A and B are shown apart, each in its own frame.
Chain A
Amino acid sequence: MATIDYPLEHPKAVTPEFSFSETLYKWVATVDHKRLGLMYVVSALFFLVVAGIMASVIRLQLAVPLNHLVDPDTFNRLFTMHGTTMVFLVGMPMVAGFSNYLVPLMIGARDMAFPRLNAFGFWIFLLGGFLLYFSYIGGGGLSGAGSAPDVGWFAYAPLTAKAFSRGAATDYWALGVLVSGVGSIASAINVIATAFCMRCPGMTLSRMPMFVWVMVVDSWLILVALPPLSAAQIMLELDRHLGANFFDTQAGGSAVLWQHLFWIFGHPEVYILIFPAFAILSEVIPIFSRKPLFGRPAMVGAVVAIGFISLGVWAHHMFAIGMTSWSNTFFAASSMLVGVPTGIKIFNWTATMYGGKLRMSTPLLFCIGFLLQFLVAGLTGIMLAVAPFDWQLHDSYFVVAHFHFTLVGGLVFGLFAGMYYWFPKVSGKMLDERLGKWHFWLFTIGFNITFVTLHFAGLLGMPRRIYTYYPGRGWELINLIATIGVIPQAAGLLCFVWNVVQSARKGVPAGDDPWDAWTLEWATSSPPPEYNFEKLPVVRSSRPLWDLKHPQDPDWKFE
């Protein structure tokens, strides 16, 4: 008798040939969590390339002083669309995509709790993306004023008032983001319900993979952080179209209310965006260090703590507006407090690697890159949490460098680690290691060239969002170097795209469990069949696949 609990051998699914229209129908009408997860990730990668090209144009414009590569209006649209796209059309669908694909597989379920809601979430997110980009065509409105939104990704009042933002561009911004936010909420409810209600027998919460834990807290943050943004956008549209006075200072309204509402959303949002990277690291580092995650209960505690503390730090984005010193003190202290659980996580990942049998494959390289760069991001974050320091550097390139270190050096590196790690599961083929290493080194070097130097631009007083600058302020060399750093980054990304395309076509077959991993997604075939598991597994420890592969030395004897 072979195994009963975990079917390791699967009948190979026969893949019949489908015509193009049949394939299209299968993808468009699907409610399968794996297909939806893939569609999320692929559309996010598409938007990543679009917004990356925008960033490159921004850098080219700033490479030399008094440059006129693009005109000022276009420049404003570029940084607005770059920021909005990266946050709402890259970061958010990556959250949804990774959790959609992996959560059911990791907890031994056949699908998400609400498959149709899942499909709704994806399509409405995509509609939001189209709405935002349609502004390039329809943003002028009847008055023909402007095209895409140019109010910055946080769209401060009164820039968004009808008088200062004519045409419909700001409306496309508000509605596009509002609509894609509905999709994020749908997918967050789905992830929570899936993790709570669909776990396979024996998978208690204390045995649930760390990835799922982080994604549950992430979904919680989405549920409590996105509605404030929706409320702000509804108020904005009421202001713009029905003449309400929420953000109209001339009628007694308050531009600061917009800032509060936006950042009540905006600060938890950066944790929403970084959590997938936390989740990925918590899976990848143990596997590639051949050690269980160090201090797992502390890791769960830390992530839950971040899920609550991060709700009370938002006004550190607003130190410069002149709040009372009590508010400044409170938000400075709470912002530093959130560094404690984040520090716990960094230490625990490092401790997991310490003394481990490290396998220096591409996923682990990206994790190490994450650890170092996210540490820098965290330290500059603590610096900016000090209110007087922030007064000095508010809205400067130091802030730009800080949050690109969190979101590129942190999130994007984490996502790459995850893609190299799970690509074999998704496609059944290994990604090429040589190209992967090229990708890692080119991207890491380029990223650091660009964003380490931008810290100094900020320290020298260069404000963000300026169209161009005069020579003689000491910014020329820094900006030129920062722009040169784009080249290795783009080359690294090309390596990645080429790697994915080539490996998907003729990569080395991966087999079910190429990394000798411990979580349930590796217990099924690669790619997994539509039903995920032939027989639902039964779990006795937090490393179910280890138990199965080592029946003489199972984890559950010690847990």
Chain B
Amino acid sequence: MAQAQEHALTADALQMEREWTLPDRGTVGVIFLIITETVLFSMFVAAYLIYIGKSLTGPYPKDVLELPIFASICLLSSSGTIVFAEHALKKGELGKFKIWWLVTILLGLYFLYATGSEWYKLIYEDHLTISTNLFGSTFYSLVGLHASHVIVGMTFLLVVFFTTLRGFPIQTQERRVKFLSWYWHFVDWVWVIVFTVVYLLPLKVF
């Protein structure tokens, strides 16, 4: 009797083990990493919003900022191209993957170039540095925080690209490529917020 009960329990345990599924740890880890990064960004966004119009001296946003429309289009469309690359990888089309990956890298690089030349203009022509006024402090810290995240993402994109070119079987790392693409989407969507707060709001509203 007792033995029969035990057998039933054992069979039950095996059944439970077989049916037991849990979320992927990488997925959970990346989601919470993105949550904590979001909080970090929102503090800098808040600082920018609080200090809009509080600068004691110029230059003010209206005098010097231009809408970086083309760069924004590039960065946002790189979110699409990385998805194409992912799909190609899933289907096993390695050539297509490399092309879309390269396009993503080029779009990201153009965005970084645009940020760099914008800063060059602001610093050398408009004489706006981080210490000039509150606008400078909040602008460079928020845009700089975003740009540094783009650089981190770009580093990973380049690592994937060059290791793949050298023959690394990237199709075995589909999961990690997915996480990298999530991070890239996150950086892009932060740019939507930054674009709205830093460029649209002072130029169009205030």
- Which of A's residues lie within 8 Å of B, judged by CB? 1, 4-5, 113-114, 185, 188-190, 192-194, 196-199, 201-202, 223-224, 226-228, 230-232, 234-235, 238-239, 242-246, 251-254, 257, 261, 264, 536, 538
Contact = CB atoms under 8 A, between A and B. Distances in A.
A242 B13 contact: no
A252 B54 contact: yes
A113 B140 CA distance: 37
B43 A245 contact: no
B131 A243 contact: yes
Contacts of A198: 22, 25
Contacts of B129: 243
Interface stretch (B33-41, B61-69, B114-122, B189-197): B33-41
B16 interface: yes
Given A196-B22, A201-B16, A243-B131, A223 B28 contact: no
Given A202-B20, A251-B134, A252-B56, A4 B13 contact: yes
B29 A189 contact: yes
A244 B141 contact: yes
Interface residues of B, number: 40
Interface in B28-62: 28-29, 32-33, 35-37, 39-40, 43-44, 47, 50-51, 54-56
A244 B17 CA distance: 58
Interface of B is mostly: helix
Contact of B3 (A1, A227, A235, A538): A1
B6 interface: yes
Given A113-B29, A196-B28, A251 B133 contact: yes
B130 interface: yes
A189 B32 contact: yes
Interface in B6-27: 6, 9-10, 13, 16-17, 20, 22-25
Given A193-B29, A231-B44, A223 B131 contact: no
B49 to A, nearest CB: 11
B122 to A, nearest CB: 15
A230 B40 contact: yes
A261 B46 CA distance: 10
Contacts of A235: 47, 137, 141
28 contacts: A4-B9, A4-B10, A5-B13, A113-B29, A188-B32, A189-B32, A192-B32, A193-B32, A196-B28, A201-B13, A223-B35, A223-B36, A223-B39, A224-B35, A224-B36, A227-B37, A227-B40, A230-B40, A234-B145, A235-B137, A243-B129, A246-B137, A246-B141, A252-B56, A257-B47, A261-B43, A264-B43, A538-B13
A434 B51 CA distance: 61
Nearest to A264: B43
A17 to B, nearest CB: 36
Nearest to A190: B29
Given A196-B22, A223-B36, 6 more contacts: A5-B9, A193-B32, A197-B23, A244-B140, A251-B56, A251-B134
B133 A538 contact: no
A244 B35 contact: no
B28 A201 contact: no
Contact of B137 (A5, A230, A244, A538): A244
B36 A196 contact: no
Interface of B: 3, 6, 9-10, 13, 16-17, 20, 22-25, 28-29, 32-33, 35-37, 39-40, 43-44, 47, 50-51, 54-56, 129-131, 133-134, 136-138, 140-141, 145
Contacts of A228: 39-40, 43
A354 B146 CA distance: 55
A165 to B, nearest CB: 18
A461 B198 CA distance: 47
B55 A252 contact: yes
B13 to A, nearest CB: 4
Given A192-B32, A252-B56, A242 B131 contact: yes
Contacts of B29: 113-114, 189-190, 192-193
B43 A227 contact: yes
The 9 closest A-B pairs by CB, nearest first: A243-B131, A231-B43, A227-B40, A244-B137, A197-B25, A201-B20, A113-B25, A227-B39, A538-B13
A221 to B, nearest CB: 11
A201 B17 CA distance: 5
Contacts of A189: 29, 32-33, 36
Contact of A252 (B23, B47, B134): B134
Contact of A253 (B6, B16, B130, B134): B134
Given A197-B24, A238-B141, A252 B133 contact: yes
Contacts of A4: 6, 9-10, 13
Contacts of B20: 201-202
Contacts of B36: 185, 188-189, 223-224, 226-227
Contacts of A238: 130, 137, 141
Nearest to A199: B22
B101 to A, nearest CB: 26
